[in-house]
């Protein structure tokens, strides 16, 4: 199901294999996909274990003598262009999408949009949110970034990573992702399920003006006008 020839061309066009030997862009992509499917948890040490198994090497035509360490995996991931992974995901998603008829795809028109804050330590992030305080009143040095994702029950439709403090509020992050989703949804067939953090009336109006259909939880102190009652 993975278009190997297209991934090879992508590796060349993005120059992702510059100075890479054992861990080519294709192999890193295969490793991540296989590990997420086969392992309960994914870490750099788990990726090392997965790569060094005969099963993985046999499936992806890698020499049984090839070995990698978690350190080399860490270095490779830090140096690999994100554009390669983004376009590789797009290629695979397009391939799978072609296997579904319109009737099969209709139940997938429910798009869940939500955000998660992820903390990184050891000064891995040059830029990010600083949230909370250390015990004793001191500020924490740990930075966080926000991943806002749209998921249709089959795969991620869209993902954005935010590191600027402006996007700490969901009323800033989610509307940006939602606007991109609605733009791609030219037939306006999707129903977007939104987190409670999406609460600004201006954001609601913007989605309505774009003809987007959505459902979410509003704040309890909202003033509402009853259009009609659905009670029997």
SS3 for 19-76 is: CCCCCCHHHHHHHHHHHHHHCCCCCHHHHHHHHCCHHHHHHCCCCCCCCCCHHHHHHH
Token pair of 95 as six digits: 């391939």
Separation CA 143–CA 125 (nearest Å):
7
Please list the residues that pair with 160 across neighbouring strands: 148
Separation CA 19–CA 57 (nearest Å):
21
pLDDT at 232: 60
Half-sphere exposure of 14 (CA within 13 A, CB side): 21
pTM: 0.60
Contact between residue 114 and residue 128 where contact means Cβ atoms under 8 Å apart: no
DSSP, collapsed to helix, strand or coil, labels residue 44 as: helix
pLDDT at 221: 78
DSSP, collapsed to helix, strand or coil, labels residue 5 as: helix
pLDDT at 140: 56
Token pair of 75 as six digits: 């270095």
pLDDT at 98: 78
DSSP, collapsed to helix, strand or coil, labels residue 174 as: helix
pLDDT at 24: 84
Contact between residue 191 and residue 214 where contact means Cβ atoms under 8 Å apart: yes
pLDDT at 168: 87
pLDDT at 211: 92
List the chain residues with pLDDT less than 50: none
Report the DSSP pairing between strands 110-120 and 191-194.
parallel
pLDDT at 19: 66
Spell out the domain ranges in the chain. Answer: 4-89, 104-215
Separation CA 7–CA 9 (nearest Å):
5
């Amino acid at each position: 199901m993975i278009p190997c020839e297209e991934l090879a061309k992508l590796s060349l066009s993005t120059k992702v294999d510059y100075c890479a030997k054992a861990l080519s862009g294709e192999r890193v992509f295969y490793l991540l996909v296989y590990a997420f499917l086969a392992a309960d948890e994914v870490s750099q040490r788990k990726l090392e274990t997965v790569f060094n198994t005969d099963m993985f090497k046999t499936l992806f035509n890698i020499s049984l003598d090839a070995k990698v360490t978690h350190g080399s995996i860490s270095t490779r991931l830090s140096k690999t262009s994100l554009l390669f992974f983004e376009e590789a995901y797009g290629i695979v998603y397009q391939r799978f999408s072609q296997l579904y008829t319109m009737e099969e795809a209709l139940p997938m028109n429910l798009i869940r949009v939500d955000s998660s804050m992820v903390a990184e330590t050891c000064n891995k992030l040059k830029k990010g949110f600083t949230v909370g305080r250390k015990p004793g009143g001191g500020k924490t040095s740990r930075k966080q970034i926000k991943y806002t994702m749209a998921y249709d029950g089959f795969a991620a439709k869209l993902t954005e990573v935010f590191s600027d403090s402006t996007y700490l509020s969901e009323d800033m992050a989610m509307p940006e992702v939602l606007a991109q989703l609605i733009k791609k949804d030219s037939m306006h067939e999707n129903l977007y399920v939104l987190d409670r953090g999406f609460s600004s009336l201006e954001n609601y109006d913007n989605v309505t003006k774009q003809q987007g259909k959505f459902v979410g939880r509003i704040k309890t102190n909202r003033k509402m006008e009853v259009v009609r009652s659905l009670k029997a």
